[in-house]
Structure 1
């Protein structure tokens, strides 16, 4: 129920505020705010983020546009698209966390905006609101787009690929423009993270062809298009050709066989787990929206003719989840591309849904957001996760949202309680970026030891070291075992406590000047100062 106040403006007191003309502007502003909140407030520290940000930094410093390197050595992990975005960020903002993360945050915001307006056009304003709300309230979604890694670009371009394909299908295959844009976005997804983009999208489209009433041959004829193929090749292939020529095929061999096939066939870097682990990643990562997914899937199967995008969204989600269930290496970010598609399902499910159907999802969301922030202050949690010891009492605010939502549930105002639960999760994530992560960041050993190595002393590393040192110092850190270098008195050596005995065996006279536990890792960073000039090192 909407009431009019003086001046003809509108004041909402019911649940149809998303129908108002001003609402998209407010909602988009909220999306912009939470996607960019705090991206500059804490260090580039997490291992993958540090290596990716540093690789882009080195390409920028060396004016190298083909071969990615980390600490002077070729980096075979990923194609270059995210590096190029980071380089643009460095040009605009400097070599710092803001420069590294800006375009990741922008990719997430763009994906959110497109999801909202696409749902608005295909379904309704109500559907658009609930789809966008499901995405913004996912803690993992916002965390993913606060990292300088390739996944934000893969996620966004895969989403754009599939909705372009849906537009092509829904035009009865008449509007070739959508096929061409699908080819364009698939090429960019391939440049983001490699052949996994082709595999996931190819399997999704194939299963859609199988399920559709029209013959597979008809579908194949519609997608086999020379111009679309040419667009894909012009965008995706040149860099792969150049890197193959420059490295004589070594980069492509390492990337395909080691970082793709080996990751799929076996657990790498300790990231293994049972088949159900992938489901757990998705279920936890998409809280609270996951509460509506099972009812949404039931609605799909009950529908005589579900919308094309809903079928495609469900197929893509199933394909992606199953693919990484059977993969040997399992990480939460692998299945993050399903989040915008699950959000589409949530938005579609809530379209024309009676308020009583919000009961179960709202209880789930409000209970969780009431309990989780409070649980962080329990002594046991503080013992297991010492990083949370300095959380401020602002983290009680999300619990207030949950508490208010539970009161509304008692009053049978389930739709409003769902909204409060989701807002509580958005508030919780915002506090992570604004308060928790910056405070936790001050405890990382790279930050704490900065005053020791920020001077002109030469930095070396021995065997293993935290890669964040490379980005923070904005320079290559050579190995102490490299025969081209001989440490001098005052030089610093970064290593881990596990390698101290081996360092001693090398005959280097050095004293420990710093020791700090790496956050969220099992290692301990140690910094040694050489106190006597060494002309040679025993090999």
Structure 2
């Protein structure tokens, strides 16, 4: 029976990642953006030049869009399809991590590292979210794994083959997020080879990967230059160098302080911070031995140098640091395995598990009591004091929290290291699986507006309706209504670059332009905004009506003389 345990674990992680991505609606702005660009590619047949709302959008190259388009062709234009490739890439990254450790004769560490990686908070959050960072991280992990294989290989032909695969990973990473696909491997490999006192290999190892990477990226790079010569100056000059040195891109400012990623990494490594004392004891007295191990040196170069590089950059988002997490998983796994080999029982983690249990158990009781009272005696408790409003299902979250606490209690009581580790993993995995169906709808309705638009806009839309939307809602409207001609109202936002080009002429409307349009046009107008202030500032008219949900507004102007339905 034990021989089937690895398959069972793999099946559980596949369920966790590929099962949870279908459960919740799109969150804006990222998920609708990375859904709309491949949708427009499919609709137009142009897979070379990325467009967003029909306007050139040069923030990233095309590989992530191609992969999302392929998933959408397979599964349909649904939220899960946009998240599928990121989730699959995360699972494959864990597989590469296991192979890397196995190559270093550390298979037990590889198994633990794969589990630590997949259950790390940031990894799961990004891996099941519709952004391109998980895909990029997979390609970088592929590059680094194949380079390590090449570094340990004695056969010249196999070495060349592994280096070529590393180059393929680099080329695909470049086609996903640009120059980082080259920069990150160099920043890790060079200090690793110097640390190994093999710096002379720096002179000849890069050429095969470089050639393979250029073969991968050259065809599209040439085609996009021919189709739109402005792509590379905009992408490299603004989205790379300007953003690195100033934090500002074409449409936004991502500048953050140097220490920004420190809390991101600490929070992203939950729940494994519970085991920090055990990890510390695993390394204590063995640090020199540990870092004579090439695998740990390799992981330290990846996790340390990359984190420093991301911190030096002015432009920062929490998801940028995701490629570091395979390295952190290896370092954590080594400490856990060495600690377990001493025969101790992870009792150093018991205090944290005990605090977690004692805090969440009363919270569970209070949550159930308050929600159940409101269910049977409605109106007695003001709605703003409730976590789940009337009509929202609170039974599933309560049950999920009960199961989570049960496994935490079992972990606290366990004395076998493997059993304690397993109980924590099951608790975290179950909580992650339940998370998408446990979010109170009213808390996310303003960042998940697609359902509201789809339900309500149909009453207003006709084939000749002119649709406008403000900067936050323009891409949402384009995706919801399957149109790439949405006018942008009030503020340009992330569409500023495309609106400032000839293709964007006449697509941007100020408050005065909207007032003039309402006064003169005989077409119906629908304006989507995520701001009550902007909705109130729109011109008054006898033909004006609206629908709202929180701060989301659909403002409709009927043609003159048409009666209110």
Q: Please give the TM-score of this superposition, normalised by the length of structure 1.
A: 0.83
Q: 1:515 aligned to 2:548? A: yes
Q: 1:188 aligned to 2:221? A: no
Write the mapping of 1:36-435 to structure 2, written as runs, cut at 5 A: 36-172=18-154, 174=156, 175-214=159-198, 216=199, 218-225=200-207, 227-248=208-229, 250-268=230-248, 269=252, 271-290=254-273, 291-292=275-276, 301-303=287-289, 306-352=292-338, 353-356=341-344, 358-361=346-349, 363-364=351-352, 367-368=355-356, 371=359, 391=394, 392-394=397-399, 395-408=401-414, 412-435=415-438
User: Partners of 1:492 and 1:477 in 2: how far apart?
Assistant: 13
Q: Is the 8 A contact 1:85 1:103 kept in 2?
A: yes
Quote how far apart the aligned CAs of 1:373 are: 8.4
Q: 1:491 aligned to 2:525? A: yes
Quote how far apart the aligned CAs of 1:21 are: 1.9
Cα offsets for 1:126-183 (capped at 9, x unmatched): 3233212212321321221212221111111111111111111112584221111111
User: Partners of 2:34 and 2:226 in 1: how far apart?
Assistant: 23
Q: Is the 8 A contact 1:369 1:421 kept in 2?
A: no
Q: Is the 8 A contact 2:98 2:111 kept in 1?
A: yes
Q: Is the 8 A contact 1:204 1:312 kept in 2?
A: yes
User: Partners of 2:280 and 2:315 in 1: how far apart?
Assistant: 26
User: Partners of 2:254 and 2:167 in 1: how far apart?
Assistant: 32
Q: 2:483 aligns with which of 451, 475, 479?
A: 475
Cα offsets for 1:208-251 (capped at 9, x unmatched): 1222223x2x21233143x4332111102222222222222x22
Quote how far apart the aligned CAs of 1:421 are: 2.0
User: Partners of 2:7 and 2:403 in 1: how far apart?
Assistant: 25
User: Partners of 2:242 and 2:429 in 1: how far apart?
Assistant: 37
User: Partners of 2:440 and 2:292 in 1: how far apart?
Assistant: 42
Q: 1:447 aligned to 2:451? A: yes
Cα offsets for 1:62-81 (capped at 9, x unmatched): 00111111101111111110
Q: Is the 8 A contact 2:100 2:148 kept in 1?
A: no
Partner SS state of residue 223, structure 1? coil
Cα offsets for 1:370-402 (capped at 9, x unmatched): 7468768978xx979968986520223212222
Quote how far apart the aligned CAs of 1:415 are: 4.4
Quote how far apart the aligned CAs of 1:303 are: 1.3
User: Partners of 1:123 and 1:433 in 2: how far apart?
Assistant: 38
User: Partners of 1:38 and 1:272 in 2: how far apart?
Assistant: 32
Quote how far apart the aligned CAs of 1:312 are: 1.3
Q: 1:157 to 1:439 in 2, by over 3 A?
A: farther
Q: Alpha carbon RMSD of aligned pairs, Å?
A: 3.3
User: Partners of 2:362 and 2:321 in 1: how far apart?
Assistant: 28
The equivalent residue for 1:3 is none
User: Partners of 1:88 and 1:106 in 2: how far apart?
Assistant: 13
Quote how far apart the aligned CAs of 1:360 are: 3.1
User: Partners of 1:177 and 1:296 in 2: how far apart?
Assistant: 36
Number of aligned residue pairs? 500
Q: Please give the TM-score of this superposition, normalised by the length of structure 2.
A: 0.79
Q: Is the 8 A contact 1:374 1:396 kept in 2?
A: no
User: Partners of 2:385 and 2:264 in 1: how far apart?
Assistant: 20
